[in-house]
Structure 1
Amino acid sequence: MTALFSNSGADDDARRRTIYEGGIFVYSATPASVELIGFARALIEEAFQGLDPETAQFELPVEDYVALLADLKPRFIHHPECARLLPLVLAEAGCALDRTYFDVPRLRTSTSDEYLTSGISYAYHAHRDCWYSAPFNQVNWWMPIYPVSADNVMAFHTQYFARPVANGSERYDYADWTAVGRPTAAAHVHSDTREQPRPEEVIELEPQLRVVPEPGGFLMFSGAHLHSTVPNTSGRTRFSIDFRTVNIDDVRARLGAPNVDARCAGTTLRDFRRAADLTPMPSELAEEYEAEALARVR
């Protein structure tokens, strides 16, 4: 059974242990998260040049919309302001900045009525991040930038947390994805032919859990959870931020969620930076995880 914890007072060590067991945490907006979504809104609204970002999809040809996102999303991801604000968000959530490492924050869009569901605005099928070479001690963070509703958020398929699913992760190599798959996202406008792990059996999408936080409120959950993008029927584009963290003590000790079905190659650990000073993840740890992943593939 998956438990949902609202504004929990648990410390980060206890929270991570619960997350590794399938627990999902939801928190109200904090001063730093409000500042982060405010910064994101400023970039978004500048990019849309007077159009309402949540309804601009109904006024722009899809090719123009893709070109706009292709410029906007990297500007947000790599902006120095994000590197300044994310550690503040982590600190307010009780994370030890000298032990916590994070990857870059990603600006996500989910357009309504199937306007754009591939490439740079990919609508994710049911998946675990661990199928995409994420470590099993990865904690996912997700926050909406504008108000969201139950018909434009994400769904958790909690019955599969400890239940294997036939999937294509054995054909996924993170090094190949970063070299070829990710850079071509904007080229996939009407369909997406990139190799991405997905279920290879019929998935029971119900029952499902949908959580609707306020703008700047955030979810924390295990990368091992099976989750998907809810088909957006809200009439408004959903804008959100997500990023991931690991605690280096858990990385070293191999503490994390169980691996029930992932067989991918590589690791995303090289993407993580220490929140205290942006020092990269020690390369020897990434190498160890890469060797362990290769052994699983074989």
Structure 2
Amino acid sequence: MGVRPIVMLTVVLLLAPLTACGATALPAESSLTLQRSQAATQAAAPVRTVKITSIRTSDYTNGTLTVAGTLTPAPAPGSRVALQRWSATAGWQEIGHASASGTQVTISANQPGSIRTYRLAIGPQAPYAAAASAPTGFNHYVWRGIYKQPLLASGGKNHPQYNIVPPAEGPRRAEAELLADKGGLVWGDINSAGCSWVKNWLGNITDGTIRASLLNGSTVLGTLDQVQESEGWLNRQIAGVTRLRLQVADVNSGYGPQVATDSMLLCTN
């Protein structure tokens, strides 16, 4: 009679650890069930796909970049879709937007010449999360004044002068006047890296004939002879030419060449 409580207490103490050990499995099983439930929910969540189908320069003068894409499934009518451009310092930046028409969207934005990466993006729209297309790189060529970047060098013979119209008078940075004395010539080397075409309008205001030339080093890319008080164009493809020379020489005149020019480059810079 006197030892029974001790025996009972011993049994309780022996059973207590066993019960505690059995209880530790319950939180683990509960957590595993929750994880499985969350994974199943995520796997079942609908996904919206965004793709760029075309990217092009639609206006080389204004620098209009046009991007078309698809969104599947179609977003709600009037949904805003953004055209974004990657910046190494600021990340993705919106440069234009439009509303989708069904699954189709087309966005245009005026941009300077560049080599950049673009994507289309749409915000969250229940039951869909925010979505974006894969980044797409593109070389955007735009016409710009030939003197947007300074001349690399200039020279000639018989008092050559290569006079670029200052920005206040010629904000397009395209106009210049080239002149020299009788029998002379004048030239200027232009930084044409990143450019694919050049077009030059030339107005000969000399009292005789001049010869305008485009050169890549010692290689002549094109020439144009102009008689007194005439106009002409000297245009060439210059892909791969990084130092383009524009030159005017006297052929037969009374006081030397004097030519007004308006020159543009098609560039990504």
Per the normalisation by structure 2, the TM-score is 0.29
Q: Which is helix-richer, 1 or 2? A: 1
Q: Which is strand-richer, 1 or 2? A: 2
Question: Which protein shows a greater Rg?
Answer: 2
Higher RCO structure (Cα 8 Å, ≥6 apart)? 1
Per the normalisation by structure 1, the TM-score is 0.27
